[in-house]
Structure 1
Amino acid sequence: MSMLTEEVSKQKMLETIHYMTENFPYRLAGSPCEAAASRYVTERLRQYGLEVENKEFYTYNSDPMYSKVTVLDPAMEIDSLPCAHIRATKPEGEVFELIYVGNGDYASYKDINVKGKMVLVEVSYAPPVPEKARIAYEMGAAGIMCMNWGNDEEVICRRGLKGVWGNPTEANFHCIPEIVGVGVTRGAGLKLKQLCLEGKKVEVKVTAIADRTWSIVHQPTAILRGNGKSDEFLLVCSHLDAWKPGVTCNATGNATTLEICRILSKHRQELDRDVYFVFWDGHEVAEAAGSTWFVDNNWDKLNKHCVCYMHIDSTGVKETELYEIKASEELLSFAKKNINDVLPELELRAMALKKIGDQSFMGIGVSSITQRKSFTKEYMEHAHGATLGWWNHTIEDGEDKCDPTALEEDTQATLKVLYDLATAKILPYDFSDKLSAFHTNVKKIADKFGDHMDFMDLEDNLQMVERQVAEIQSMADDLSEERAKLYNDFVKMVARQITNVTMTCADKYSQDSYGYTSLSYPVPLFADFERLVKLDPASLEYGLIKTQLVKNKNRINDALFTISCFADLYKRILCV
């Protein structure tokens, strides 16, 4: 394997990045530039001998065109950019009172009336911007102004406010916030923040123009066939659409993906599993539209055969010092070991993966890994939450923001993870920590809210499943080829069942809204207990919420029962 990682060519990746930046600088989904970039990637994949198709489909899109922001008193005009998927203002602009609401989470609105006003929020991933917009709209705001992260850099991030994950349906179209939205520099935002905190009435005249329309986008898709020993496959993806010039988001990720494809294609006879490569479109503006379209149109195949999803985004970023892994808990130990093997000198930061980015596969329950070199905690705090650099999504994201050595290290580390997964006889899932943490979280919730609902059945089921899954996992070491396949089928089934009820609120066939607040709760399906306990038990709202919480507990119990039944069956088969 060390020889394989040595095949990574830093020069080839830098050439890819330069070519994309020079020839396809503004890869807005649905644009001619995006279409040309898709053709380029498709041809590259074809050169490596893969089964290739440049998929076309419609996505609900937006083109942010123009904005102007003028503060009325004291009179000043400030630089701005329109957000995507907004309610456009009248051409002559509209006047709003501006209200500062911190990071824009629910707590920020305590005792503040924002109805009909524009809120000023500080950009961060707590919550992500689309969720800030959704909350603002829910609170009655008519507009949102996003103050950039970073420090004194005079740059503005491009933003999308769609909120709805993937293409909307009749059931959730109304959830797209009908709200005006603009971005401003951090310096301008801090001045406005100070005016708001001084208690002055701050009024702004805003013109913000963006469209909303269905448009055709392109998604290069390729299959690298292995040696045919298994019908399973890995899914390896990076998003192709990007704001200009989009080097570290995401030409570097595209270069990493293409380089991994080039190398693995030369070793295809060593791969027991196929590898699917897809370059997502509709990531930036349409909120994971490409990955959601892929889920919807390949649901059965993914459910039956996909063993891991690897999302490759923002590799090779300059000034990064440690290695960060975000993975489904059942793959976390495996992923950490791989990094320690490839880059033992780097500090490692590893954590459970949450549903964000293009993690559109948690409803099905496909296990996932995403990893890259990252900034230290101190660096990100100094940059006020700029986890991908202050230049992310700005015109400053040029080739100088790529560190060639970091790019090489990122690609080598990810190549090893994928090769090991593609050749592993036994899938390296370990559910011990995941089930234990889930049980602990349920106990804490039961202790806190046990007066409102009986958790005894859920706790009993969790205890039983923990024991049963551990028993089968203990058999993994000495299985024959045939029984190894049965074991792998079992752990895939466990992932399908447990991920859906621990990482999502939506059902298996839908998506949560983007960055949905409840997903940060220890057990997302029980997040509404925090609302329930503040209500009168005789009230209408209490009854409605309580009914849904009971249904959510039944959903979890059903998943645990399915695991338990299959565990009993597979134990009998594997012990024969």
Structure 2
Amino acid sequence: MHVKGGDMENLKKILEEISLDQMMDRIHYMTENFPYRLSGSETEEKAARYVTNVMESYGMEAEMLEFDAYNSTPMESKVEIISPEKFQIDSLPCGHIRSTGKDGRDFEIVYVADGSISAYEEKDVRGKMVLVEVSYAPPVPEKAYIAAQMGAAGIMCMNWGNDEEVICHRALKSVWGNPTPQSLKEMPDLIGVGITRHAGLRIKKLCQGGEKVIAKVTAIADRRWSKVRQPYGIIRGNGESDEFMLVASHLDAWQPGVTCNATGNATTLELCRVLTRHREQLKRDIHVVFWNGHEIAEAAGSTWFLDHYWDLLNKKCIAYMHIDSTGVALTKKLEIKSSDELYSFARNNVKQMKEGELRIMTLKKIGDQSFMGIGIPSLCQRISFTEEDMEKAHGATLGWWNHTKEDGIDKCDPQILYQDTLIHAEFIYNFVNSDLLPYDFRRKFDQIEKNLYPLAEVYQEKVDFTDVLANLKEAKELVLGIQNNSASLAPSKRSDYNEFVKIVSHSLTNIFQTYGSKFDQDRYGHTNLTEPIPLLAEIKQLDKLEPSSLEYGLIETLVVRNKNRITDGLKTVIDFGKVYKKVLL
């Protein structure tokens, strides 16, 4: 990436103005005055109003959006093991559960490891409560969905970490964002509690001892529509372009919620303060939203924003950055997760870092990544734990204290927070000031080929891949041909080029990184999203089925239709590629 001398000087001034004191003051103020920021609560509204007022004080256009979210408030729980031993354990109720009532219920407990589909092989969990070890593979809402599909009546979530006697707040709502009449039917209707890792290991040992393990569980939470609020601000650039970058950070949090996500809020507000002071040096606008409904309502705020600002986002948004859990203590390695077309730009943004100091990977659809269906390229980054540290903590990627009462001010490292904020500021400034949108599709096509060709080779006799491979080849040649000549484009053609690469990014992201339609959302943590090509995830089931069986025919039909969706998306790229090739070259 070539940065002009004037731009470099402006960026240097911006970075010099970032204030650690300002950020630490924000963190202290929010966590001391709004310690409980769960969606729909009175303190959440106060926090939202505070953030909105802060953005206004910086000179931003700001408003507090209000909408209805399908929400839940966890209330109380109690767990007692009554056989083969008797003892009580501490617990917390999960959100979006079916309550037991005050008298509780008895359950047989069955241990199912990570709660993935394969963990249920040769296990009958119908009417029972499953004990799962918490991890992000799959996330808790998907563990709950799988448990419900297997006939379980309840789920008990054993915390990650090691010897820490803490319980993580969790929710079981597998529906991404607000439900529809159809998706509501798929939401798990389970009784659910969280417990410490120590207690979970004790119950696991009993389950593996050969005797039935019986627990009396009481868990109470509600499920309802509630009003929630999210601050929305705009930093207007110098008017050179009407495009914008979307930057967001979730506002709702479990008490005290320092690193999840007061630190992310502080980073975002400091970026607002400094970038607003330099708005005349910004060629594009920056839209900033503090999502609500991130924790229990599972990305309700970002999904609502997409639903209600669809046309604006579809036409004018050039990228999305989610800022979460910056400044986490004991972290050592910069982690960047990005859409493949942003990979080169993101890497160049931290070119001074050596490979061993950096972990960079393709971004999957998780968290508040609600914009992959529409196809907007995304990025999230933060200084994170090393692989060894995460392994020792049994998958606690954000620290064993994440979502617990122990997420206090001592879990924030001010110097790491400062470094995180510098990295975000540099990326945003350089990205919004790019004359040509810095999407690089070489890695995108390389990854698609890497994932698609092996499937085609293995399953060509079952499903004809000739059409999709031909379209992929033609799309790649057209897109890279135009991209490789972009440096020589006349200034009058830059706008046309930017429109073309947005079309390509929207089309490829939709068909290769999501499973549901672009107008809907995937189930939260959907197992298929972990596959190299989510739309073709079911093809592997054909290996286990008799070709003459009903099930084989059903899966084959599904796979062929999903393959056709990919083929059609590639055709869209080809059609626009042919038109823009004439216009640009």
- TM-score range relative to shorter protein: over 0.9
| TM superposition shift of 1:454 | 0.4
Instruction: Confirm whether residue 495 of structure 1 aligns to residue 543 of structure 2.
Output: no
Query: 5 Å matches for 1:107-256?
Result: 107-256=118-267
Output one character per residue of 1:180-235: Cα deviation in whole Å (capped at 9) or x when no partner.
Answer: 10000000000000111111210000000000000000010011110111111000
Q: Separation in 1 of the partners of 2:137 and 2:336?
A: 19
TM-score, with length taken from structure 2 = 0.97
Q: Separation in 2 of the partners of 1:135 and 1:502?
A: 23
Query: 5 Å matches for 1:35-74?
Result: 35-73=45-83, 74=85
Output one character per residue of 1:137-161: Cα deviation in whole Å (capped at 9) or x when no partner.
Answer: 0000000000000000000000010
Q: Separation in 2 of the partners of 1:346 and 1:421?
A: 25
| TM superposition shift of 1:90 | 2.3
Q: Separation in 1 of the partners of 2:80 and 2:456?
A: 52
1:431 aligned to which of 428, 433, 441: 441
Query: 5 Å matches for 1:81-480?
Result: 81-341=92-352, 347-480=357-490
Q: Separation in 2 of the partners of 1:440 and 1:323?
A: 26
Aligned twin of 1:572: 582
Aligned twin of 1:552: 562
Contact 1:323 1:346 (C-alpha < 8 Å) held by counterparts: no
Contact 1:223 1:276 (C-alpha < 8 Å) held by counterparts: yes
- State the SS of the aligned residue for 1:164: coil
Instruction: Confirm whether residue 484 of structure 1 aligns to residue 484 of structure 2.
Output: no
Q: Which is further off, 82-91 or 475-484? A: 475-484
Aligned twin of 2:8: none
Partner amino acid, structure 1, of 2:108: E
Partner amino acid, structure 1, of 2:35: P
Q: Separation in 2 of the partners of 1:297 and 1:40?
A: 24
Output one character per residue of 1:212-261: Cα deviation in whole Å (capped at 9) or x when no partner.
Answer: 00000001001111011111100000000000000000000000000000
Output one character per residue of 1:265-292: Cα deviation in whole Å (capped at 9) or x when no partner.
Answer: 0110111110000000000000000000
Aligned twin of 2:532: 522
| TM superposition shift of 1:390 | 0.2
- State the SS of the aligned residue for 1:407: helix
Contact 1:230 1:273 (C-alpha < 8 Å) held by counterparts: yes
Partner amino acid, structure 1, of 2:402: N
Q: Separation in 1 of the partners of 2:392 and 2:318?
A: 38
Output one character per residue of 1:459-491: Cα deviation in whole Å (capped at 9) or x when no partner.
Answer: 111111111111000111122222111111111
Q: Separation in 1 of the partners of 2:446 and 2:476?
A: 7
Q: Separation in 2 of the partners of 1:479 and 1:51?
A: 35
| TM superposition shift of 1:344 | 6.2
| TM superposition shift of 1:333 | 1.0
In the alignment of these two chains, the number of paired residues is: 574
Q: Separation in 1 of the partners of 2:492 and 2:267?
A: 35
Q: Separation in 1 of the partners of 2:456 and 2:154?
A: 39
- State the SS of the aligned residue for 2:407: coil
Partner amino acid, structure 1, of 2:461: D
- State the SS of the aligned residue for 1:340: coil
- State the SS of the aligned residue for 1:527: helix
Q: Separation in 1 of the partners of 2:262 and 2:551?
A: 48
Q: Separation in 2 of the partners of 1:12 and 1:236?
A: 19
Contact 1:45 1:222 (C-alpha < 8 Å) held by counterparts: yes
C-alpha spacing 1:3/1:346, structure 2 compared with 1 (3 Å): farther
Q: Separation in 2 of the partners of 1:348 and 1:299?
A: 34
Contact 1:83 1:210 (C-alpha < 8 Å) held by counterparts: yes
Instruction: Give unpaired runs (5+ residues) of structure 1.
Output: none
Aligned twin of 2:7: none
| TM superposition shift of 1:422 | 1.0
Contact 1:137 1:177 (C-alpha < 8 Å) held by counterparts: yes
Q: Separation in 2 of the partners of 1:441 and 1:78?
A: 46
Q: Separation in 2 of the partners of 1:522 and 1:75?
A: 46
| TM superposition shift of 1:455 | 0.4
CA RMSD of aligned residues (A): 1.0
Aligned twin of 2:38: 28
Aligned twin of 2:551: 541
Partner amino acid, structure 2, of 1:305: K
| TM superposition shift of 1:569 | 1.0
TM-score, with length taken from structure 1 = 0.99
Q: Separation in 1 of the partners of 2:216 and 2:235?
A: 54
Q: Separation in 2 of the partners of 1:337 and 1:10?
A: 25
Q: Separation in 2 of the partners of 1:43 and 1:481?
A: 39
Contact 1:380 1:386 (C-alpha < 8 Å) held by counterparts: yes
1:17 aligned to which of 15, 21, 27: 27
What percentage of residue pairs aligned between the two structures are identical? 57
| TM superposition shift of 1:345 | 9.7
Q: Separation in 2 of the partners of 1:448 and 1:573?
A: 40
Q: Separation in 2 of the partners of 1:245 and 1:340?
A: 35
- State the SS of the aligned residue for 1:172: helix
Instruction: Give unpaired runs (5+ residues) of structure 2.
Output: 1-10
Q: Which is further off, 458-467 or 235-244? A: 458-467
Q: Which is further off, 196-205 or 145-154? A: 196-205
Q: Separation in 2 of the partners of 1:418 and 1:443?
A: 35
